[in-house]
Structure 1
Amino acid sequence: MTVPKTPVLVLDCSDPEPLARFYATLLGATVAPADGDPDLLLLHTPDGPALGIRRDPGQAPPSWPRPEDSQQAHLRILVAPDALDEAEREAISLGARPVAAEQNGTRLDRRTDLRRYTDPAGHAFVLAPAHGAPDRVSP
């Protein structure tokens, strides 16, 4: 029998409170300190923990995208397909920075189904269409 587990992606940054507020507002989540770790904030949605933001005073912002590397790890936020434009406006108003998408040295049209950004601390994330039940976004 497998022991029950709850995976949580944790983003490191030098100042976790503003980054936690950014994602809490973007995801409609609440923020609470993690039990036993004063440097970790957990964002909770109605389904449970969704994301962690951890203080790391020596953390350097990621350098993505780099043409010579792959995208590396990123947060994928699923959105109803007809709400992508609205979600994009919301993310940018909160401080997200759009990232130009390129393929083989050619810039792709920004009006695609996948919207690429960095958060205020430089972590990569995308807004992607969720194809599933209209009342619940599923992977």
Structure 2
Amino acid sequence: MPLVTAGVVVLDCAEPEKLAAFYKGLLQAEETDASANLVEIRAADGLRLAFRRDANATPPSWPRPENSLQVHLDFLVEDLDAAERRVVELGGRPIEAKDIPGRSEERGCSDPAGHSFTLRLARQRAPKQG
């Protein structure tokens, strides 16, 4: 058994219930734990995210060069347009970033609390030959 196993990605935010609802809708996830200051969800593929209450949380302001990206999530999607529409329906927004190579294969977005993430086109893998 490994000494350390993958845990949960935790995002600080002012309203964890609202942010959990956004990601539950985006990832078709279910809530697995909730308390006054933390909500955790699990997606069908096993990804675990938690949202911790921080009344003083300020979202990162990427892509402005004077601020760091901090952390962001990459989500693999089959249809970029459909995924981006779903983000907007749930209260997120696209982020316009200039000069990103491969722009046609990925799109930057932010959740309602301002955390950035990327929708990345999933590569179709050819079946192994021979």
TM-score, length-normalised on structure 2? 0.82
Confirm or deny: 8 A CA contact 2:28 2:44 kept in the other structure: no
Q: Which residue of 2 aligns with 1:67?
A: 65
1:94 equivalent to 2:52? Answer no
CA distance in 1, matches of 2:92, 2:102: 15
* 2:55 paired residue number: 57
Deviation at 1:6, TM superposition (A): 2.7
Instruction: Name the structure 1 match of 2:74.
Output: 76
Instruction: Select which of 17, 38, 41 maps to 2:39.
Output: 41
Tell me, what secondary structure is at the counterpart of 2:104?
coil
The whole-number CA distance in structure 1 between the counterparts of 2:105 and 2:125 is: 18
Q: Which digits, 9 at most, give the CA deviation of each residue in 1:92-122, with x for residues without a partner?
A: 111111111113xxxx699611111111000
- Provide the rounded CA distance (Å) in 2 between the counterparts of 1:56 and 1:4: 27
Report the structure, 1 or 2, having the larger strand content: 1
Classify the secondary structure of the residue corresponding to 1:102.
coil
Aligned partners of 1:74 and 1:123 also within 8 Å:
yes
Structure 1 residues 30 and 22, CA gap change in structure 2 (3 angstroms): same
Counterpart residue number, 2:28: 28
- One-letter code aligned to 2:3: V
Aligned to 1:128: 120
Query: How many corresponding residue pairs?
Result: 126
Unaligned runs of 5+ in 2: none
Identity between Structure 1 and Structure 2 (%): 45
State the Cα deviation string for residues 25-80 of structure 1 (Å, max 9, x = none).
Answer: 0000011325xx64121111234352111111121222222123453311111112
Change (3 A) 1:62 1:111: closer
Letter paired with 1:127: L
Unaligned runs of 5+ in 1: 135-139
Distance 1:31 1:78 in 2: 21
1:137 maps to: none
Distance in 2 between the 1:122 and 1:110 partners? 23
